[in-house]
Structure 1
Amino acid sequence: MTTKVRELHPYILPLPANTNERVRYVMTLFSTPVTIEILKLFEWGRELRQKDIITVLKHHSNRTILHSIRKLLTLGLLEEEERVEVRGNRKVRVKYYRLTDIGKWYNILFKDISELDYRVVKEAVTNLSVMFMARIIPFSEYLKINFLELLDQVVSSAIKSVADVRRRHEHDLIVFGSLALDIYLKPDVRVCPGGSGANVAVVASSLGLKTCFVGRVPTNIIGSYMLADLISKDVDISLTELGEDVILPICTILEPLEPVEMKCSIGLDLKSLPTILRVNDELVKACNNSRSLYLGEGICRTYLELLSRVYRDGKIVVFRPHKIVLEYYIEEFKSILQYSPILILNEEKENILRSKGFNVPGDLFRAGVKEVIVTRGSKGTVLYVEGREPNTYTTPLVNAVNTVGAGDVFTATLIYYLLRGTTIEEAVERATYLSALSTTQPLSRKYLTEVVKT
């Protein structure tokens, strides 16, 4: 007869290195349930007197309790201190016990997590990770383990595991784009997470949209940190791929008020790109269940395959191509327009199209687009809707300190208002206003939750 185990959890137990000692250690610990009962009595950082332990466990004999305490001392799970205390006119010796560092881990091993203070759990997980790595390092050469590779794999796998647990089955918005590392050189050197697509995802999530980010990140500590940052902003990253060949873009921002000075370093091999390379059934299903799609920096052929497989009835699709697409992949760009996305350009991209002989917006309408939005920074935003006169929306005067990421704010807030049912005109007007306000914030990632609410 077999007993069905409902749930298993991977606990890591610090044990002696010697095999014989390891067996003896486990057999001693589990030789009597009293040792476990004693361990469970302790709280981290608090001592217990021998008398208190005996009082609480009075259903056991004193001899059994004292014998079990000696076992825990031998195993190194408890440490003992004898003090002299004055009681009335006499001095008495009192024995105190506290958990050792190893004892702390065995202590929480036998407790339900609901009984534990969150600070205890946090400290335990941190200490356990440090303990594990500290024990592995001396044996790394013998085990033929590259420590840095191991660290990268452990951390990235842990992040991906967390992402899978927090996966959503329906989304308001799925964002296609990339992550990047932004390095500011003025006024002081600082490094922060960025990437246009990731910025859009963070802003959209902060506005309350159930957002999923789809891209590719390197399997290393930096890539894991970037994903952890998205998770902390409540962005679903379960569809993001990890790849050893992926190169994370490094954006050097020379002058925050002049984004045209930004220089990005990235590999030319397709496998190194931080954007998705292929479309699978899981991705198509997620897009079909999403209310909107944002196609940012990415490969046009991939987007074409995606759009050909996704149901678009009633779905908002926003296309904001990278300027490299307009410079070198213009035919693929034109092919995407047949799916009638809302097309967002900035002034530089508009000029690239005009230099290639495009009439903006006429040729774009003929290719299939119904709405074209051109953002022009402090000069405002122009909205072209097929069959209507163009509208220009004025940018409010603000004390700008960083224009990097303002276009990402514009895009996220535009989608936010469109999903709320506002007209395209009203959505563009509000997005223009909020993107201008975002330039008063010093970093690439903008946070406008409170501004939008008011």
Structure 2
Amino acid sequence: MIGKQGPNIVVIGSINMDIVIETPVIPEKGETILGSEMKLLPGGKGANQAVAASRLGMETSFIGAIGKDRFGEQMQQELNRHSINQALTVMPEEKTGIASIWIHDQDNRIVVIPGANGKITWSDIELRKSYIDRSDVVLLQLEIPLDTVVECIKYAHGAGKKIILNPAPAQSLPEEIYPMLYSLTPNRQELSVLAGAPEILQENDFTALYAAMRKMIDKGLPSIMVTLGADGAVHMNASGHTFHIPGRKMDVTDTTGAGDCFNAALAVSIAKGLSMEQAAEYAVAASALAVTKFGAQNGMPEVAEVTRFMEYAF
């Protein structure tokens, strides 16, 4: 059980085994090709964010669900290896979630099979709500059922917690939750879905991007932080004040998990009491380092790496 010697966060979300395939080309319909390599790596947005937060020096707990199978056992071992407090529901009738990830030309395409992730309910999480009660920041994503996420947000809000929602994968959200959040952290594509603004997919159009962010703020959202990949991140608060933290040019090995690293680093910084601008600078630095290594969780930087990087990059 976690203590309260210092700030801590709880991550509520998905945990998967990633089946990672490197391929020289993307096959066309009906085409068979020879890939370069296959790896089995621990993943899932929730678990990725928990690992990243722990590696960044934060006392971290993870609430999620696994099947009673070999992949589930391996996921538990990985959480233990990263000193993460576990609050897992084991579902004998379900399989542990998996994600099929194709990596090609420094980019990735992902298909997720939810398994136990898709069955977790508030009733499961309520049994472990003490982890929420003791946390400073609650971090969620959308790879578990939306109804469950909404109930978690309502409970955490009632408990006075700072809630960060990473709305990935993109889907419509009930507007009642927006005022309960500390911040929403979509990428450009996810924001286009939430705001009904496909025009923001033009990467150089910041005017349209700010208009879409304003639309979300008008729903009662206190803060929105949009991740822009290599272009960094842009933020808007309830008063309409904005800032942009530019990205850093890196030698890219694997972009898988970079967004998860950003969210974890943002949550860690907020738990430590940093301003949103300071938190964004830290998150941009951490996620820049994440793309230089292979694998979602294996690529998460240690706190000392981020500190050294920020001394030279900013």
TM range (shorter): 0.7 to 0.9
Please list, as runs of the form range in 1=range in 2, the aligned pairs for 1:365-404 lying within 5 A after superposition.
365-404=217-256
Partner AA of 1:273 in structure 2: N
Does 1:348 pair with 2:186? no
Aligned to 1:188: 37
Partner AA of 1:226 in structure 2: M
Aligned to 1:321: 167
Q: How many residues align?
A: 277
Name which of 287, 290, 295 aligns with 2:140.
295
SS of alignment partner, residue 83 of structure 2: coil
Distance 1:398 1:248 in 2: 34
Go from structure 1 to structure 2 and tell me whether the alpha carbon gap of 1:385 and 1:447 turns closer, same or farther (over 3 Å shift): same
Go from structure 1 to structure 2 and tell me whether the alpha carbon gap of 1:300 and 1:265 turns closer, same or farther (over 3 Å shift): closer
Shift of 1:289: 1.6
Distance 1:428 1:338 in 2: 21
Q: Any gaps of 5 or more consecutive residues in structure 1?
A: 1-166
SS of alignment partner, residue 443 of structure 1: coil
Contact conserved, 1:288 with 1:311, CA < 8 A, in 2? no
Shift of 1:173: 0.7
CA deviations over 1:135-173 (Å, ceiling 9, x no partner): xxxxxxxxxxxxxxxxxxxxxxxxxxxxxxxx3255711
SS of alignment partner, residue 353 of structure 1: helix
Aligned to 1:309: 155
TM-score calculated relative to the size of structure 2: 0.80
Aligned to 1:101: none
Distance 2:37 2:126 in 1: 46
Aligned to 2:85: 236
TM-score calculated relative to the size of structure 1: 0.57
Shift of 1:399: 0.3
Aligned to 2:32: none
Does 1:448 pair with 2:301? yes
Q: CA RMSD in A?
A: 2.3
Name which of 426, 429, 441 aligns with 2:278.
426
SS of alignment partner, residue 290 of structure 1: coil
Shift of 1:341: 3.0
CA deviations over 1:117-150 (Å, ceiling 9, x no partner): xxxxxxxxxxxxxxxxxxxxxxxxxxxxxxxxxx
Shift of 1:312: 5.3
Does 1:248 pair with 2:102? no
Does 1:263 pair with 2:111? yes
Q: Any gaps of 5 or more consecutive residues in structure 2?
A: 23-35, 201-210, 309-314
Partner AA of 1:211 in structure 2: T
Contact conserved, 1:216 with 1:246, CA < 8 A, in 2? no
Contact conserved, 2:64 with 2:117, CA < 8 A, in 1? no
Distance 2:247 2:270 in 1: 20
Distance 2:153 2:240 in 1: 27
Go from structure 1 to structure 2 and tell me whether the alpha carbon gap of 1:424 and 1:250 turns closer, same or farther (over 3 Å shift): same
Shift of 1:452: 2.6
Q: Which has the higher contact order (CA 8 A, sep 6+)?
A: 2
Contact conserved, 1:303 with 1:336, CA < 8 A, in 2? no
Go from structure 1 to structure 2 and tell me whether the alpha carbon gap of 1:215 and 1:397 turns closer, same or farther (over 3 Å shift): same
Task: Name whichever of 425-434 and 396-405 sits farther off.
Answer: 425-434
Go from structure 1 to structure 2 and tell me whether the alpha carbon gap of 1:364 and 1:215 turns closer, same or farther (over 3 Å shift): same
Distance 1:254 1:305 in 2: 33
Distance 2:146 2:184 in 1: 14
Q: Which has the higher strand share?
A: 2
Which has the greater radius of gyration? 1
Partner AA of 2:263 in structure 1: T
Deviation above 6 Å: which 4+ runs of structure 1? none
